[in-house]
Chains A and B, each alone.
Chain A
Amino acid sequence: MSAPESFQAIIVGGGLVGSAIAWGLAREGLRCVLLDEGDIAFRASRGNFGLVWAQSKGQGAPHYQRWTRYSANAWPELARELADAVGADVGLHQPGGVHLCLSDKEMADRADRMAQMAREAGNSLPFHYRMIEAPELRGMLPQLGPSVVGASFTPYDGHVDPLRLLHALHRAFTGAGGVYVPNAKVERSDAAPRDFRVMAAGRVFEAPRVVLAAGLGNAALAPEFGLSAPVRPQQGQVLVTERVAPIFTMPTTSVRQTMQGSLLLGDSVAEVGYDISQKPAVMAEIAKRAVLSFPFIARLNIVRAWSALRIMPKDGVAIYDQSERFPGAFTANCHSGVTLAGAHARLLAPMIAAGQLDGMLDPFSARRFDVRDAA
């Protein structure tokens, strides 16, 4: 092993969560090293759908709803600073978004869910939404099929090119002096309060802060730092069509048009462990729902498809923690690396730089599971 290399922060994980935090820390002036895996890895950042989405997150968990809203609000600033830093256009577009309902039952359930979220939001950051019936919705999305009975709409939603985002974050991070080390799966680590050593890629890195953003890898890594990250893989599959001239004015939860023109059709949910094989039956279900939503899509060619693994915390809500045993060690775990990039870069990173998570993140601690499991 070579001599230790000193940094002010070590970030483990070069996906969207890790690189958003890394960029945020580098922007705060910290000298950072970002440790990443190599070309072949489970990377949710390669497989996500690209929504910046508030209306589906945080039902029954108002703190998560609020955090998501903060992130959506922080997003324009993140996009601007990436444009300034590296000239990147990440394609952020936040015109609001809809969740399409294909039956009266879906519409009623959705209305209940939206009402609950509005109740839980309270008055500090009110949650405005509308349930829109088909005739009005057709005015917004003329290509809708006859099976669509309506949709929920919130003005906070949007989308972005998640791959451009990842590329831009990496460029901005290294442009700000950050050191990126690939093929650097953590081999060993030594933790002491505000004094961490991580061995990876045959090198030794030391810093008073370490941020674990290794996605599914956090589950095994967190205990080494006195933390807990109960996350599991959840498979999602997505289909991509050929490019079409601009047609949609806003994204939906299951169909969106990318800035290149392709339609993304998604996305499925399957609990199959560490399995990224594609299943024609699942792909067919995605296709069917897309065609029911927008019949013209039936004629389009599918040019690409994939399955990837979400990083799903036990209760679906993000986990943020600072280690009690080893202060200076933090974890960030979520399945919404795109939506939450704004919060991670602009809110979470400054907290980590200052050495203290804000009280609003207390309910995100993994300690919530201890309480629940003990009960």
Chain B
Amino acid sequence: MTHRPSARRGPVRLLTAAVAAVLLAVLAACGGAAAGGGETPQVGDVLRLGLSRQITGVNPHKGGSPDSSGSIVGSIYESLTQIGPDLTVQPSLATAWTSTDPLHWRFTIRTDSTFSDGSPLTADDVVWNFQQLLDPDYKGTAGAPLRRYLTSVTKVDDSTLSFTLSQPALDLPGRLWSIYIAQPAFAQSHNLDNEALGSGPYKLDTLDQENGATLSLNPHYAGPKPQFAQVRYTVLASEAQRVAALRAGEQDLILNLDPLDLAQFRDSDTYDTVLGVGNQPLTLAINERRTGTPLADPRVRQALNYATDKDTIIKSLLQGAVTPLPGQVIYDPFQQPDPAVSAYPYDPEKAKQLLAEAGHADGLTLTVLLSSGTYVSQDAATQAIAAQWAKVGVTLKIEQQPFPAWLQSQYGPDDQAADFYYIMWGGAFRGDVTGNFGPFRSDHIQSHLDAPEFDALTTRAQNATTEAEKTDLVNQAVQNAHDEAHAIFLYPSPFTGVVSKGLQWTPKPNRYLYAQGVGRVQP
């Protein structure tokens, strides 16, 4: 064989390979479209749930994002109270509670609860968990907010606990929903970040933080037995992964899909789609503390609120699922917004005027940091916002990082943090002052705000002793945050999901995807 003919075959092979690759791509696209999600609507023995964020651990004393660690932790552990689908506070380990005076509460707990190794969950175990969290040196981050108002938890008898507070807390039962109870002996001898022993419906079998976790039934669980003996949580950290997994029939239930992408599953024989309103607001969190930042000036922050056309984004990208935030981070139907405060209207001229008054008539360049693939429609929405702001002379640079790095960036110093974070955060239950407003306070671990008046008002609201006083203080705080524009108020998070027709499931607008909340459709 000579070189010449083989040399000629090289280009031919390359061309053939290129043409084949293109044809394959086209065929895959056409084939997929033709399939239209027509897979058999079967749910197997293993319940397959998709998570949209990387797992950051399963420590019951470190909280956890809803569409990530929080869903797994809530399936393995129990807490004194839990949050229902309507965001009301409901009994869990505690069956009843009463406040004897603003600083003293009593909780009655169940005595039949059992850890997954067969040992009973006792009042002493609950007390031990709270003692750990109240210790300032303890590494469980859920303890920090507790220590602001809780002095001690003591055992009265085997079924009664006494809580002593340093500050009044009208919503104490709700605040305890995410304080999960670990078995003391296990907690002291194992790493709770990646090992678990709880009293919840499931026990942890395997954990791979980047890819997912497998769970199986806790044979000693005292409550109603869940319908699935095995559960597999899979991390699907990008929209493309979520869509592909559903198209391939590899998942039974996934939350957090872009509303535009739901259309391809609407006529499916396999799946139903869900498009509604989530309970937490989407905002651009502002870094007001970077040295020399123009965002320290409230006129700039107000201008950017005026420059943001929420309605257009909602109508097109979010398929009209929500309405703009009413100029505050609480909204109907989950919270009680202040009716006197309303959304910033879209008014680019007013925005230009405010920017000029603030000395930025020549424009500004700012940066927003996104968590890759985490929030519904975030890429398109921030590009739309960037285009809107460009009309008033503001250049918004968009950067992305994986969720853990994005989170770490918020924990970092003010001067190294981005100007904005596209973020969803807020309360977990009705009237949750701490959750609703905590992330927007200056002292929140992820916050880079400078809002002393808002901080003072929300502190007083947290410590209010009557509902009327609390409502009044909340309204004042909301008005302050609106006037000072301590956030770019966008819209409630759309609640989206795709669920197998073979499943029975009550959506929780807070996005916690607990395995025990999913069952089979009964014939």
The reply to whether chain A is a binding partner of chain B is: no
* Interface set of B (CB-CB < 8 Å, partner A): none
* Interface set of A (CB-CB < 8 Å, partner B): none
